Amino acid sequence: MQRLLVLNGSPRKKGNTSVLSEYLLNQLSSNYKTEQIFLYDYSINPCMDCRACKIDELECILEDGMSEIYKKIDQADVLIFGSPIYWFGPTAQTKMLIDRFRPYFSNKKLEKKKAAIVLPAGTGSADCDLTTEMFKRVFDALDVDFMGVITSKSYDVGDAYNDKKAMKNVELLAQKLL
């Protein structure tokens, strides 16, 4: 069975990123082995631009929570990146994760994997444009197939449940991933 991994970059475990991601997971759980991890549970250090990932094993040599996350990513067929919008961008922990993707530029291990993004924001889609563009370019650089973006106008915990358009878009994304 194929694997689907949600990389949840919200500090709020029951927040809107989780509402949207879990709705997606529920619809795909008979077709994928699914898992959601919370990036704030892991210690992820910044990329130091040491360039060790450009030689020999083409792996990151830092020893921290990323070792476990790299393994999960390597095993996954579909990656869902979930992040609330913080100041027009992804959360710091999400950006920390993306910066540590440098090895994938060399080792090409993400090639042909599928990915989608889940972005709740208080103002809705208007503030998601830069983050969507960032992810699209990351996926392009790493040869990952971009499957779609879910934006949602949600601010307080649970608001996403009431964003019917966003929930519908989650259903459409789930169908695309079947």
> Footprint of ligand FMN on this chain (CB under 6 A)?
10, 12, 15-17, 84-88, 120-123, 127, 154-155, 157
Report in angstroms how near the CB of residue 118 gets to ligand FMN at its nearest.
Answer: 9
Minimum gap (Å) between residue 42 Cβ and ligand FMN: 17
Beta carbon of residue 44, minimum distance to ligand FMN (angstroms, whole number): 17
Nearest Cα neighbor of 152 from 176, 136, 128 is 128
Rounded CA separation 151/127 (Å): 9
Closer residue to ligand FMN (CB): 46 or 122: 122
Instruction: Quickly count: other Cβ atoms within 10 Å of residue 163's Cβ.
Output: 21
Q: Which amino acid is at 116?
A: A
Work out how close the CB of 127 gets to ligand FMN at its nearest, in angstroms, rounded to a whole number: 4
Cα–Cα distance measured from residue 177 to residue 39, given in angstroms and rounded to the nearest whole number: 23
Distance in angstroms (rounded) separating the CA atoms of residues 40 and 92? 10
Identity of the residue, 29 or 88, whose beta carbon is nearer to ligand FMN in the bound complex: 88
Residue nearest to ligand FMN (CB): 15
